[in-house]
């Protein structure tokens, strides 16, 4: 009997399978979609298929049926096919491996699906479902490496020896962290030993692939187990050395919170969105470099400034986009801003400055600030939460009265130049800065009052 959760997927694949059947070719659902069906999870993303048909044959078989075909990946065995709103990736059974000093995989095609599955990353992904054109035929499960059993046992293994698997594609060592965290799996001892032995091989993997895999790890529900795996196996030393560096040595006299444990807890507390999760991961990277011991104990003065610079450097090295680099670095820089206003009720001026500094990152900054509180002191935790609640109430109140998101001087540069009779230059910028400070301190000014302030400032300046 066909499981109900599989029926809609088969309904989409059957017409394609009929074309392959008629040509004497086999086609299989493969990879994550099979794993998710076994787990009872809703499948996500495109539908991945593998076949014994070569890429050029696949293109022939979908001609006249597909709405669009992409053959850019054909030399690697993959043909993209779109029918209606559904995208299929049809890949010839293949074996791919990285040479000792190359970032480019060498690809060879195979005739049997078992050979293809043997080259997959983990047993839980090395399963396939043979799909035929018959409407009521139950797909045959191909599971030569015990993926179903490993899912039941919550075990992460490789189909062949982990040394062979990680030689084929070193990125799999990093990918293991995502599967541990995302599926609640435990790595077997051989996998862990192989990672520790081979972790240096990650150097041949492109920064873009590392970036993408790290990003996927960070947005699983709770990435904690994966992040600890990166640190404990030495992967982080290669791809994100700032992370293990936060395991600041503790001494018996000047105690402080374990920065690494705190960081991973903050990441887990935040909502699973890449921008805020990456900012949470990097928000305290400046602490090891700014740690000092004085009469009042351990301090990390200006770690947000140092951390923002370090975050920017690491994100650029990982080839994140310019917008992502600047936004994440800005969140790291601002993550202490909330604590700079003291314990009093938030004034209008303080709220305006906080909103102005956060800009379009206000929601992310509030999220990071809330989640940065990992104290076990319930009284302190309640106090910080109440202060954050108070701030958000004050922001909402001011939003009703003012255009908080568009805080700017009450006069523009043209008005300043015309009123003072001066050309463009430094004085115009200084005048606008003065008017902005007045706007932040007092709220919107009437136009006449803004001109009066401008005249007084200009007279004092002269």
User: Quick one: 130 and 190 in the same domain?
Assistant: no
187 is a domain residue: yes
At residue 140, does pLDDT exceed 80?
yes
Quick one: pLDDT at residue 298? 67
Domain assignment present for 447: yes
Threshold 0.85, pTM exceeds: no
Residue-level pLDDT at 252:
39
Cβ neighbours for 252, distance < 8 A, ≥ 6 positions apart: none
- Which pLDDT score, from 0 to 100, does residue 294 have? 64
- Express as a percent the part of the chain with pLDDT over 70: 90
Say if 352 falls within a structural domain: yes
Q: Give yes or no: residues 82 and 11 share one domain.
A: yes
CATH number at residue 218: 1.10.110.30
Mean pLDDT, the chain, whole residue set: 87
Pair 171, 297 in one domain? no
Pull the structure tokens for residue 364.
């992310």
Q: Which residue reads 């706007």 in tokens?
A: 439
Q: Which of 134, 153, 172 is the last residue of a domain?
A: 153
Q: Which of 368, 387, 407 is the last residue of a domain?
A: 407
Residues 188-205, mean pLDDT to the nearest whole number: 96
Q: Is pLDDT larger for residue 316 or for residue 357?
A: 316
Q: How far apart are CA 117 and CA 145, in angstroms?
A: 9
Question: Which pLDDT belongs to residue 1?
Answer: 64
Q: Across residues 98-125, what is the average pLDDT? A: 80
CB-neighbour burial class of residue 447 (10 A; exposed 0-12, middle 13-18, buried 19+): exposed
pLDDT by residue (tens digit) across 246-267? Answer: 986 444 333 446 889 999 999 9
Number of domains composing the chain: 4
- pLDDT digit string (tens) for 226-241? 999 999 999 999 999 9
d(CA 181, CA 228): 10
CA–CA distance from 443 to each of 11, 359, 439 (Å)? 61, 17, 5
Q: Write out the residue range of the structural domain in which residue 414 sits.
A: 408-461
Q: Is position 246 within any domain?
A: no
196 with 143, same domain: the answer is no
Q: Are residues 19 and 105 in the same domain?
A: yes
Task: Give the tens place of pLDDT for each residue, 286-321.
Answer: 998 888 776 666 667 789 999 999 999 999 999 999
In 23-170, where does DSSP find H-type helix? 32-39, 55-62, 113-118, 147-153, 162-168
When mean pLDDT is compared across 88-92, 122-126, 375-379, 451-455, the lowest value belongs to 375-379
In a domain, 250, yes or no: no
In this structure, of 38-52, 142-156, 403-417, the range with the lowest mean pLDDT score is 403-417
């Amino acid at each position: 009997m066909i499981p109900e959760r599989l029926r809609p997927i088969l309904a989409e694949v059957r017409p394609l399978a009929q074309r392959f059947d008629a040509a004497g070719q086999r086609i299989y659902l493969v990879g994550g979609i099979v794993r998710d069906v076994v787990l009872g999870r809703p499948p996500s993303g495109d539908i991945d298929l593998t076949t014994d048909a070569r890429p050029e044959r696949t293109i022939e078989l979908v001609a006249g049926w597909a709405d669009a075909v992409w053959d850019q990946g054909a030399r690697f065995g993959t043909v993209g096919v779109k029918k209606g709103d559904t995208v299929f990736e049809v890949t010839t059974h293949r074996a791919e491996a990285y040479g000792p000093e190359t970032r480019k995989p060498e690809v060879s095609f195979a005739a049997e699906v078992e050979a293809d599955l043997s080259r997959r990353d983990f047993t839980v992904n090395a399963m396939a479902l043979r799909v035929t054109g018959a409407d009521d035929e139950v797909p045959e499960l191909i599971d030569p490496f015990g993926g179903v059993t490993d899912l039941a046992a919550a075990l992460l293994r490789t189909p062949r020896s982990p040394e062979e698997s990680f030689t084929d594609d070193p990125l799999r060592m990093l990918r293991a962290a995502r599967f541990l965290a995302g599926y609640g799996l435990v790595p077997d001892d051989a996998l862990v030993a192989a990672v520790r032995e081979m972790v240096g091989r990650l150097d041949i993997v492109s920064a873009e692939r590392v970036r993408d895999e790290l990003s996927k790890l960070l947005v699983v529900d709770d990435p904690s187990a994966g992040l600890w795996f990166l640190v404990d196996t030495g992967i982080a030393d290669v791809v994100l050395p700032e992370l293990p560096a936060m395991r600041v040595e503790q001494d018996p006299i000047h105690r402080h919170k374990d920065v690494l444990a705190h960081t991973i807890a903050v990441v887990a507390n935040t909502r699973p969105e890449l921008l805020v999760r990456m900012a949470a991961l990097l928000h305290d990277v400046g602490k090891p470099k700014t740690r000092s011991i004085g009469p009042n104990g351990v301090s990390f003065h200006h770690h947000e400034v140092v951390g923002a610079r370090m975050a920017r450097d690491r994100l650029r090295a990982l080839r994140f986009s310019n917008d992502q680099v600047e936004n994440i670095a800005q969140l790291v820089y601002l993550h202490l801003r909330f604590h700079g206003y003291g314990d009093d009720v938030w004034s209008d001026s303080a709220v305006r400055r906080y909103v102005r500094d956060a800009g379009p990152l206000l929601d992310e900054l509030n999220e990071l600030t809330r989640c940065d509180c990992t104290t076990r002191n319930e009284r302190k935790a309640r106090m910080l939460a109440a202060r954050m609640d108070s701030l958000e109430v004050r922001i909402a109140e001011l939003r009703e009265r003012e255009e908080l998101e568009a805080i700017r001087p009450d006069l523009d540069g043209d008005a300043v130049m015309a009123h003072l009779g001066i050309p463009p230059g430094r004085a115009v910028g200084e005048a606008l800065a003065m008017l902005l400070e007045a706007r932040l301190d007092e709220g919107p000014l009437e136009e006449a009052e803004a001109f009066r302030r401008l005249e007084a400032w200009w007279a004092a300046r002269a």
